[in-house]
Structures are given as C-alpha cells and as structure tokens.
Amino acid sequence: MKKIIFTDGAPKAIGPYSQAVEANHMLFISGQIPIDPATGKIVEGGIAEQTEQVLKNIEAILKAAGYNYSHVVKTTCLLSDMNNFQAMNAIYGKYFPEHSPARAAFQVVKLPMGVLIEIEAIAAK
C-alpha cells in the first residue's frame, strides 16, 4: 500500500506529482528545487544557498513522514553546471556527516524555473 506524503514545510508540487510517496517502509522523495516554502520563491544566492534550501526541503519531507537523514539510502543530484559540484558537495556533506547514502550526480541542460540544483532522495526504515 502506498501513502502520499505532504508537508507545508516543503514547496508544493508544481506538477502532477507528490512531494513523496511511502511504500513498503521506503520513502521516495520527488526532486526538490530551492523554493522557500514560506514565500514560494527561489532562494537568492548561488549554488550554496540553493543546495541548502533543497536539503532543508528534503528534511521537512523526511520529518513529515517520520524519517530523518540517517534513513536516506540514495540521492540523485541534478546540477545545471558541473562546475558547481564542489560547492554543492560541501553543503551536501553537512547533512550526511557519516554513513553517506549512495549518490549519482549529473549535469543537465535545464532545470525547472532556471534553478541551479535539484535533488531527489530515497529513504528506508
């Protein structure tokens, strides 16, 4: 059985998808972009500020579903420019100080709303 997860602590979906879906003790978090849920706007700044907001959004969804970052087993990071990888990685590492999840990182041609980063995550209990 699947359960749809929603929280006001993360941006509302901007299309026909859920913030996250839980099934069989696994949580699948849709790609999060750096929208501040309080304002509905993209956070100002560069890759560091955008990565921080994306990870805060993921954290809010994890919490709403009864998970935390220690449950994350896989992430996918989509970057508009791979030259931002090192700066993204510095922020990302703060959220996964040990026992980091598996991860893939890709440069893509374009991300929604012209953002610099999008991250999706899978967590398990």
DSSP string, 8-72: TTSPPPSSSS-SEEEETTEEEEEEE-SEETTTTEEPSSSHHHHHHHHHHHHHHHHHHTT--GGGE
Query: In this model, does residue 92 exceed pLDDT 90?
Result: yes
User: Whole-number mean pLDDT of the chain?
Assistant: 97
- Name which of 84, 24, 23 is nearest 54 in CA terms: 84
Tell me if 20 sits within 8 A of 3, measured CB to CB: no
CATH of 2-124, one of 3.90.950.10, 3.30.1330.40, 1.10.4160.10, 3.90.25.10: 3.30.1330.40
* Residue 89 clears pLDDT 90, i.e. is over it: yes
pLDDT of residue 1: 87
Per domain, the residue ranges of the chain are 2-124
The yes-or-no verdict on residue 18 having pLDDT over 90 is: yes
Quick check: 14 pLDDT over 90?
no
Q: Assess whether pLDDT exceeds 90 at residue 32.
A: yes
In the prediction, which pLDDT does 98 show?
A: 86
Alpha carbon distance 105, 5 (integer Å): 25
In the chain, the percentage of residues whose pLDDT exceeds 70 is 100
Is the separation of the CB atoms in 84 and 117 below 8 Å? Answer: yes
Asked whether the beta carbons of 101 and 55 are under 8 A apart, the reply is no
pLDDT in tens, 93-125: 999 998 899 999 999 999 999 999 999 999 999
